[in-house]
A and B are shown apart, each in its own frame.
Chain A
């Protein structure tokens, strides 16, 4: 479903060129910049998204919009208002996601601590963590030609698996935390394997079955929270019991400040990305995944078992999504999970995987970008509408998914070998 159809080679000098091609470097570089290759399409998609975001910011801001109503009597008002709005909005996003300049001033004046300075980055990493897992869950399935829409449901099951081990068992932290994490992965894997098995045995399309399984998981979550086994003993709201202290993900930077929420789940996320990279490009199983994704009929002819590849891939993908759930219920949601805890991280994982082009490194980078957008938007409200992060994500992915659009808007040249698109198979 998402195999890159070409390998961009435009940035490499041609074999026939002489060693004295140095003056040509700038020309080649310029050529690279104006070509619709996968790197430049990504960069231009980001730029275009921020440009469209700026226009929508102007349109949605009442004061700035009002300055356009008398544009011809005093155009400078509209110009300055728009400029200020855009600069302030994107600065606010930056301050919420990377570095708060206000805190920097206070740090320089000695009224803020170093830990306070790191808080925006910590928030970015905190929101990126579940996205790394769900992005990998979707991306891995992509490589086998499967469209895993079910990451949301798999994550919900992982969340509950980790939660149950987290509060029901009484163990020392060394065993308890890893056990709860593994329980989350296994619960996600079990739920993720279902569409794989259905596809392998009955040919049911994984998109349909995994969408439906998402609904089942969401409703199952609502019901299970209200059961006596899971429901909080101290609160009457729809919230579960908290996990034991011994199963809570330790914060990475609590030495600097307790308010830095980034925790060990991030490290597990990076490890999962490395594992997925190894699995895909260094293991026999990964070779099978890619072969089946590239051409299932050829793979079957070559003696590969297609059905079991589908099932196993979906199970591993489900396990990765399950880890996202564990990261939530043992991390930021350790005080108890509600029907809102999972948000839409599973669906966001689809956009992360698309932006990351289904490659582990790209997925981590995409997750960091989306995490930054989420943290930035949360902190920038009410001056900036909180929906701006969702909006930017949507526009970015729209362009990524339609490179021909970017190429047409910016009059880019077609790279040798054609445009790099993420192909949807089976549709």
Chain B
């Protein structure tokens, strides 16, 4: 017992010493600025169970919120995370109690909870991301990502040398399967137009059955799933699984003949595997959220109330396919022209990409 206090003192002394070394910096001038602390408009977001750093739709939505606050000094933003759907109600209620001017619920599962909160608080503006609501003060933000995935599928079919491409999803939920439906339709289009016979592994659009990890985080499972598809001959992989999709990119990096197509954002910029990526099926979530916050701000300051719904499409550039970057020379001019034509057909409505998961009301 006699040694212990001594040792403790020694440890304490060295800790203090270390802290002192780190604590010799200069003091900053008094009262530094603190963001938009005095802003008059409070925009609030409740996340789904992924949390704000899910590298997927919660994170993109939050990026949109922050971009809105960046653009307009009079807007401040706040977020609460849910660990399961049983947290939605208290979180939304807390935002109401916080006197938020605009409350965004992220994820289709939360739509009913948003509706209940909006009905109880008719003077507050609400929004639901990836869900559709008919309540007057709820703005629906949805994306017809089948359209961008359709173009990605067409590119994949044109680029495959083995005649086999593959897709797999993080979870069997509409925001995921809609990409897979569009991808399948794009391949089908190429097969019909060009007389090819490219086969898709991992998703049967007819039966709505396919390969899912049941996780958006498990990159190891993503890699082993991809390896299986590669061994079955697939040379282009389209993972629809947020961060778990990185597993597909590592597998592609290990196989010279295998490339991938990324999802949600331009993977050439958001991942380290740009060299493996032919293109990306983008979903402009951050922009749509940002625009909705700015519109809600205008509405609160005498502008027109935001109501109804927004559906991101190729026409309004809410969804798109990313540039080909390193593959720009690999994709033929003919294919590029065909993509252009298909885009135009989708925009003017002569071609529709159908998915059971398509946004509810257009």
Contacts and interface: CB of A to CB of B under 8 A. Distances in A.
A102 B174 CA distance: 40
A69 B91 contact: no
Given A236-B177, A341-B84, A381-B81, A71 B23 contact: yes
A123 B84 contact: no
Interface stretch (A166-174, A192-200, A296-304, A332-340): A332-340
A72 B81 contact: no
Contacts of B80: 378, 381-382
Contacts of A332: 86, 89
Given A333-B85, A386-B81, A73 B177 contact: no
Contact of A236 (B85, B90, B173): B173
Given A70-B25, A73-B25, A386-B81, A237 B108 contact: yes
Contacts of A340: 49, 83-85
Given A236-B174, A238-B173, A340-B85, A68 B90 contact: no
Nearest to A242: B112
Given A222-B214, A259-B93, A335-B112, A328 B86 contact: yes
Interface residues of B, number: 37
Interface string A69-95: 111111001000000000000000000
A375 B112 CA distance: 22
Interface string B82-123: 011111011101100100000000001100100000001000
Interface of A is mostly: loop
Contact of B356 (A71, A226, A236): A236
A339 to B, nearest CB: 8
Contact of A341 (B86, B91, B171): B86
A73 B27 contact: yes
Interface residues of A, number: 40
B337 interface: no
B91 A378 contact: yes
A403 B357 CA distance: 56
A23 to B, nearest CB: 32
Contacts of B49: 340
Interface string B211-243: 000100000000000000000000000000000
B93 to A, nearest CB: 6
A346 to B, nearest CB: 14
B85 A338 contact: yes
B85 A70 contact: no
Contacts of B28: 70
A239 interface: yes
A378 B94 CA distance: 9
A44 to B, nearest CB: 18
Given A68-B19, A68-B23, A238-B171, A103 B97 contact: yes
B24 interface: yes
B172 interface: yes
10 contacts: A70-B24, A72-B20, A102-B97, A235-B108, A235-B109, A258-B120, A259-B93, A328-B86, A340-B85, A386-B81
Given A73-B24, A239-B85, 7 more contacts: A72-B20, A73-B27, A116-B97, A239-B109, A261-B89, A378-B90, A379-B94
